[in-house]
Amino acid sequence: MLSWIHGNEDFVWQLAVFSAISFVVTLLLVPWIVVRLPSDYFLHRRRTPPVPKRHPGIVMLIIIGKNTLGFVFVAAGIAMLVLPGQGLLTIMIGLMLANFPGKFRLERWTISQPSVLRSMNWIRAKAHKAPLLINSDHAQS
């Protein structure tokens, strides 16, 4: 193992720098996003994304950018499960940004996990925001 590290010092340093940057970025972005969620975000049976009244090309660029950012957050969150950072919360934010079939059902199931809900509500309490509300029946559907 040590011989591999010595043979790949540049890669190890790049990984360390990426890990440090992602840790700091998630410490800033994840709470910022969690605090801005409406407390009833997870109570609705279905979610229909709002369609902005803009040129269709701009709407498409926004959707592509939002999905790209969402999948980057999911990938970074997965990496943070073993690297420093808030892995589960980052994955959750990434899932909320991306559009895919079954997204809302997955979000409701994830937020219904006690440790995830407790963490998100702790962040919201620090910002003097109402806790996120969930309906356990919806989490099962």
Residue 121's Cα: distance from chain center in Å?
A: 15
Mean pLDDT of the chain: 81
Residues 132 and 39: beta-carbon distance below 8 Å: yes
Q: Give dist(CA 15, CA 22) in Å, integer.
A: 10
Residues 107 and 95: beta-carbon distance below 8 Å: yes
Whether residue 50 has pLDDT greater than 70 = no
66 versus 53: which is more confidently predicted? 66
- Predicted confidence at residue 48, as pLDDT, reads 63
Flag whether 12 is in a domain: yes
Residue-range definition of the domain harbouring residue 32? 2-42+53-140
27 versus 75: which is more confidently predicted? 75
Question: Per-residue confidence at 122, pLDDT binned at 50, 70, 90?
Answer: very high
Flag whether 48 is in a domain: no
Question: Per-residue confidence at 84, pLDDT binned at 50, 70, 90?
Answer: low
Whether residue 102 has pLDDT greater than 90 = no
DSSP 74-104: HHHHHHHTTSSS-HHHHHHHHHHHS--TTHH
- Number of compact structural domains in the chain: 1
